[in-house]
Amino acid sequence: MDLPELVLRAHAAAADVAMPLTRDGTGPSCSLPGVGRFLAVLAAGCVGGTIGELGTGVGVGAAWMASAMPADCTLVTVELDQTRATAAHRVFADDPRVEVVRGDALTVLSTRAPYDLLFADGGTAEAPTLVDLLRIGGRIVSDDVTPLDLLPADSPFRTNDAKREFYFGEPRLISTEVVLPDRQNSLLVGTRVR
């Protein structure tokens, strides 16, 4: 499947700042295509809505969402790192619906709530306060999860995983884990119901 033009532009920006496209354990990496497509599916339904992203990177996930979201939807994405924020700024220079802000994601996004969709991908990804920022019916997504079947038998993540505990323990969310088509990675998604 072809990648949207904006995603290709974000991939080029990743190369410029040496941000890996896949998880290699050396530091922050860009969202995988399977995550991007999932985000695009949710973003496409945000008619007249607002999308927030914690941790822009260079804008790969944001590019997937911006490529799919309706014309009347806006997206604000926040990145702490100056170099990555500047690179992402360039990616979205032609799209007035997308705002890239350099700063602390939770601080900035708290001033723009409520959101129809939040991609929690940097900083305080598991904070219950994120649920406060969602509309009822709004969705929250986190990636960089390894499917349980692939975890070593002695992995501490089998019994102690902050991301899974947040999604499945937060009473205001109905959540599930989605294994990506690569079968190596999964994401968590929850809908705020109260």
Ligand X SMILES: C[S@@+](CC[C@H](N)C(=O)[O-])C[C@H]1O[C@@H](n2cnc3c(N)ncnc32)[C@H](O)[C@@H]1O
In whole angstroms, how close is the CB of 141 to ligand X at the nearest point? 10
**Between residues 55 and 138, which has the closer beta carbon with respect to ligand X?**
55
Residue 80 exposed, middle or buried by CB count within 10 Å (0-12, 13-18, 19+): middle
In whole angstroms, how close is the CB of 171 to ligand X at the nearest point? 25
In whole angstroms, how close is the CB of 89 to ligand X at the nearest point? 13
**Cβ–Cβ < 8 Å for 14, 20:** yes
Pairing verdict, β 186-192 and 134-145? antiparallel
**Between residues 35 and 134, which has the closer beta carbon with respect to ligand X?**
35
**Between residues 105 and 173, which has the closer beta carbon with respect to ligand X?**
105
Site residues (vs ligand X, CB under 6 A)? 28-31, 53-57, 60-61, 78-81, 84, 104-105, 121-123
Number of residue whose CB is nearest ligand X: 122
In whole angstroms, how close is the CB of 75 to ligand X at the nearest point? 12
Taken in order 154, 160, 163, 167, the sign of the CA dihedral is positive
Peptide bond into 28 cis (omega under 30): no
**Between residues 80 and 113, which has the closer beta carbon with respect to ligand X?**
80
**Between residues 40 and 60, which has the closer beta carbon with respect to ligand X?**
60
Pairing verdict, β 186-192 and 173-179? antiparallel
In whole angstroms, how close is the CB of 109 to ligand X at the nearest point? 9
**Cβ–Cβ < 8 Å for 7, 68:** no
